Amino acid sequence: MFYLYLMSNKNELTEQLVKDHVEHLKALDADGKLVLCGPFSDYPGGMVVFKADSYDQAILVAESDPFIASGHKTYELRTLEVANKDNNYLL
């Protein structure tokens, strides 16, 4: 299952916090869980799209992100239903 967390800035980020966040992303990628991530150019925040086995596991992934764990960003977790040609775009 695919999940995503949308982050909103709450506090100023430090260089070390950004580095810790990148390490979190690298770990997700190394585990084959990271799908897509990045900041928004028109909104003060970003998102991480990833694979997890359950909603509870997805919460753990999101809350282990240093941005969120430190309280510098808030987040909303969503379950993503992927529409593509393999599933006839969910028709």
By mean pLDDT, which of 2-6, 10-14, 77-81, 83-87 is the weakest? Answer: 10-14
> Domains plus CATH for the chain?
2-90 (3.30.70.1060)
CA–CA separation, 84 and 66 (whole Å): 32
Q: Given this model, what pLDDT does residue 39 score?
A: 94
In this prediction, residue 80 has a pLDDT band, given cuts at 50, 70 and 90, of: very high
Contact status, residue 58 vs residue 3, Cβ threshold 8 Å: yes
* Residue-wise pLDDT tens digits, 15-47: 999 999 999 999 999 999 999 999 999 988 999
Q: What letters, b where the CB count within 10 A reaches 16 and e where it falls short, cover 46-81? A: bbbbbbbeeeeebeebbeebbbbeeebbebeeeeee
